[in-house]
């Protein structure tokens, strides 16, 4: 089965850096995805990691360690509009299914 | 189309009634997923269609739930004899499962806006 854990909620200050962690236990791993979801809206894709290491995309970076079953999403220069839920999802290559964590609600305060 | 569309955007129904939710995926996307999201929760996988293969129904919570995908495009999720616990946002996503950058097998999911179902 799949077991994906993320913190439920985090608070950070505008302009700061925040790291959202995700741990997973899965067989058949084939990629880890991060999605952003604003309240009342559909999730939108942020990043994808399938190999170990850091993927940087503007203010957002995502890291993966397959041996540790661990990923994090790093958000720099936080803006108020970054207040949203961040969903970690793991893809199982055997079934091409995605398993989502419960999401981390990020509150950015002035 | 430009993106994944779903209809209706909101549906209020009485307990015991049947409902149908529709999803129009991005043209050419062979994979289609249905998820359910309760308030403040993550996404719960329901069912997955891939091309002409038999769908993966392993996430459907009961036999009251069913889905079909006609012509490899539009999909309909049907909930029979709705219960209050069925109240949630139902999200549809599609993806192109062919390998594209940045790595083989990469297939980002594109989500529709969802249908908010309320069972009274």
pLDDT in tens, B1-36: 579 999 999 999 999 999 999 999 999 888 899 999
Q: By percentage, how much of chain A surpasses pLDDT 90?
A: 75
Any bridge partners for residue A106, and if so which? A10, A84
**Structural contact between residues B46 and B53, judged by C-beta atoms closer than 8 angstroms:** no
Of A42, A48, A105, the CB nearest to B106: A48
Residue A99 in contact with partner chain B when CB distance is under 8 A: yes
Of B41, B45, B106, the CB nearest to A102: B41
What is the nearest CA distance from A70 to chain B, expressed in angstroms? 18
Q: Which of residues 21-80 of A touch B (CB under 8 A)?
A: 30-31, 33, 41-45, 48, 50-51
In A8-91, where does DSSP find H-type helix?
A: none
* Residue of chain B whose alpha carbon sits nearest to that of A89: B43
**Structural contact between residues A87 and A37, judged by C-beta atoms closer than 8 angstroms:** yes
Q: In chain B, which residues have their Cβ closer than 8 Å to the Cβ of A42?
A: 91, 111-114
Quick check: B103 and A51 CB within 8 A? yes
Confidence of residue B103 (pLDDT cuts 50, 70, 90): very low
* Count of CB atoms situated within 10 Å of the CB of A78: 19
The per-residue pLDDT of chain A, averaged, comes to: 92
**Structural contact between residues A25 and A5, judged by C-beta atoms closer than 8 angstroms:** no
Please, is B97 exposed, middle or buried when counting C-beta atoms within 10 Å of its C-beta (0-12, 13-18, 19+)? middle
Instruction: Please report the number of interchain residue pairs, chain A to chain B, with beta-carbon separation below 8 angstroms.
Output: 56
Confidence of residue B40 (pLDDT cuts 50, 70, 90): confident
Distance CA B55, CA B58 (A): 9
B76 pLDDT higher than 70: yes
Q: Which of residues 65-94 of B touch A (CB under 8 A)?
A: 91
Residue B86 is predicted with a pLDDT of 96
Quick check: B114 and A97 CB within 8 A? no
Confidence of residue B106 (pLDDT cuts 50, 70, 90): low
Q: Which residues contact B52 (CB under 8 A, 6 or more apart)?
A: B72
Report residues of chain A scoring pLDDT below 70. 1-2
Confidence of residue B98 (pLDDT cuts 50, 70, 90): low
Distance CA B69, CA B50 (A): 10
Residue A10 in contact with partner chain B when CB distance is under 8 A: no
Distance CA B114, CA A65 (A): 32
Residue B111 in contact with partner chain A when CB distance is under 8 A: yes
């Amino acid at each position: 089965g799949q077991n994906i854990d993320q913190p439920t909620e985090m608070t950070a200050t505008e302009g700061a850096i925040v790291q959202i962690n995700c741990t997973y236990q899965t067989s058949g791993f084939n990629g880890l995805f991060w999605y952003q979801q604003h309240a009342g809206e559909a999730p939108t894709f942020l990043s994808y990691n399938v190999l170990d290491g850091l993927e940087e995309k503007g203010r957002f970076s995502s890291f993966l360690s397959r041996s540790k079953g661990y990923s994090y999403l790093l958000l720099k220069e936080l803006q108020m509009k970054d207040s949203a839920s961040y969903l970690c999802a793991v893809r199982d290559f055997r079934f091409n299914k995605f398993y989502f964590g419960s999401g981390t609600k990020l509150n950015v305060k002035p | 189309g430009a993106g994944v569309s779903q209809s209706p955007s909101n549906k209020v129904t009485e307990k015991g009634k049947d409902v149908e939710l529709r999803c129009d995926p991005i043209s050419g996307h062979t994979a289609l997923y249905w998820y359910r999201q309760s308030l403040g929760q993550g996404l719960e996988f329901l069912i997955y269609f891939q091309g002409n293969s038999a769908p993966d129904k392993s996430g459907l919570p009961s036999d009251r739930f069913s889905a079909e995908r006609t012509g490899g495009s539009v999909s309909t999720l049907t909930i029979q004899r709705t219960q209050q616990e069925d109240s949630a946002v139902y999200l549809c996503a599609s993806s192109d499962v062919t390998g594209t950058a940045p790595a083989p097998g990469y297939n980002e999911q594109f989500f529709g806006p969802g249908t908010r179902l309320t069972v009274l």
